[in-house]
């Protein structure tokens, strides 16, 4: 997770550059909505790329309370987790 925090520390100027929301479509399907500046989207890509290179079963948890999600808007998610490994059902279960 140190590498993730290194990426974040290099991009402190991108505060509020990305919006990450979860919700439902009008038809009731679950959705993730991501919008942002080109730089914000590149930051997200860098974070995902770093996580993809992490060892199996490694995860990264960024939380608003700790300031990790400074690059997202205030109405974005409060927790953003990335896991490396084969997807399997586990908590949380989104309804």
pLDDT in tens, 12-69: 999 999 999 999 999 999 999 999 999 999 999 999 999 999 999 899 999 999 999 9
pLDDT at residue 87, rounded to an integer: 79
**Are residues 19 and 34 in contact, defined by beta-carbon separation less than 8 angstroms?**
yes
Whole-model pTM over 0.85 = yes
Sorted by where each begins, the domain ranges of the chain are 2-83
Using a 10 angstrom Cβ sphere, with 0-12 exposed, 13-18 middle and 19 or more buried, the burial of residue 41 is middle
> What does residue 63 show for φ and ψ, rounded to 5 degrees?
-125, 145
pLDDT at residue 95, rounded to an integer: 58
**pLDDT value at 93 more than 70:** no
Average pLDDT over residues 61-88: 94
């Amino acid at each position: 997770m140190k590498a993730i925090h290194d990426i974040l520390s290099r991009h402190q100027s991108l505060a509020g550059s990305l919006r990450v929301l979860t919700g439902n479509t009008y038809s009731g399907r679950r959705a993730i909505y991501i919008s942002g500046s080109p730089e914000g989207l590149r930051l997200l890509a860098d974070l995902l790329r770093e996580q993809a290179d992490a060892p199996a079963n490694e995860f990264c948890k960024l939380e608003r309370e700790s300031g990790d999600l400074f690059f997202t808007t205030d109405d974005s998610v409060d927790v953003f987790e990335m896991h490396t490994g084969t997807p399997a059902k586990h908590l949380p279960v989104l309804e």
